[in-house]
Amino acid sequence: MERELVLIGLTISYLVIASVSDIRTKTVDDHISVALAIIGLIGFRPENLWGIIPAIIMFAVAYSTNGRPGGADIKVFAALTLSCGLWKSMFILFAAQLTNLIAFGIYRLICRAKKKEPDKSMAFIPFITLGYLLSIFCTNLI
């Protein structure tokens, strides 16, 4: 139990670092994805390999939409899925997309009220981080 909490804490720490980097520069260093993958491998269970399926879906979407979501989003999410498994990874992706949709809608409304042209994209890793946090709380409630 203690080891699992340490791994969750490390994962959250790296996700927050990745989120800040994504917000500021729209890039994330590869060492963060590698660190998340190593954390996933420390607590690895073979059934967690199924978690890569949502990451493959995310890659297919990026490939068919000319890079949205970006490469850093896919690498961070794929590394994260090593510790999550299929259903938790699907929950994270769904929660990230839903919260991103809500935030972008609010952002567009604010821009419209200020008569300002909105940016076409938003950093997505903060929403992956939020999805991961929600998955921790939701799975502990069930």
Give the tens place of pLDDT for each residue, 15-47. Answer: 999 999 999 998 899 999 999 999 989 978 888
Q: Is the peptide bond before 69 cis (omega within 30 degrees of 0)?
A: yes
The long-range contacts involving 102-110, CB below 8 angstroms and separated by at least 24 positions, are 103/127
Q: How far is CA 67 from the centre of its chain?
A: 16
Banded pLDDT at 142 (limits 50, 70, 90) = very low
Inter-residue contact 126 to 15 (CB < 8 Å): no
pLDDT of residue 44: 81
Compute the radius of gyration of the chain from its Cα atoms.
Answer: 15
CA distance 41 to 78: 12
Residue with tokens 């890659």: 59
pLDDT of residue 140: 61
CA distance 124 to 68: 10
pTM: 0.89
**Would you list the DSSP string of 21-33?**
HHHHHS---HHHH
> Does residue 66 register a pLDDT over 90?
no
